[in-house]
Structure 1
Amino acid sequence: MTDIALDVDAKGLRCPQPILRAKRALATLQSGQLLHVQATDNGSLQDFAAFSKQTGNALVEQYSDDAGVHHFVIRRR
């Protein structure tokens, strides 16, 4: 996606750090802007889905690459 406003590298961090970094980053964005988070913690797969539901920020895209990095694209509410 080319319209990403901010990238957060949370690779190597364990729960809850990827979510906390995403939350901090989202606070700097305007409504509708996109945040891209990269994480390697397998727990982040469930964490980001729950985080999106709880906060109302849309999880637009989620995928894992061949290197074991999980990618999350979140649209700020």
Structure 2
Amino acid sequence: MTGIKMEDQALDADQVLDVTGLNCPMPLLKAKQALNIMDAGQTLLVKATDPGSVRDFKSFTDLSANQLLKSVENNNSYCYLILKGE
């Protein structure tokens, strides 16, 4: 497992995806690609800077088998911890 410390919170995940600097729709598309090659039950930590990603990742996980375990915002940076569904 790898992790990132953000806003005094340690976020551990099986895989980390850094999409900082990318704008919609790229953060979500890259996350979907990463999730497609992961096994169910694994976690993906996505680090982004696009403010629109807050809405995108919430909608994506609401409409898919994946679960948004945590969403953290700090100084225009966003981290999403996603559990890969079945």
TM-score higher than 0.5: yes
Using CA pairs below 8 Å that are at least 6 residues apart, which structure has the higher relative contact order?
Answer: 1
More helix as a share of residues = 1
RMSD: 0.9
More strand as a share of residues = 2
Unaligned stretches of 5+ residues in structure 1:
none
- Alpha-carbon shift at residue 76 of structure 1 (Å): 0.2
| TM-score of the superposed pair, with normalisation by structure 1 | 0.92
Displacement over 3 Å in runs of 4+: none
- Alpha-carbon shift at residue 56 of structure 1 (Å): 1.8
What is the aligned-residue identity percentage?
A: 35
Unaligned stretches of 5+ residues in structure 2:
1-10
Counterpart residue number, 1:20: 29
- Per-residue CA deviation, residues 33-75 of structure 1 (Å, 9 max, x unaligned), is 0000011000000000001011120000001123x21000000
| TM-score of the superposed pair, with normalisation by structure 2 | 0.83
* Alpha-carbon distance in structure 1 between the residues aligned to 2:17 and 2:61: 16
State how many pairs are aligned: 75
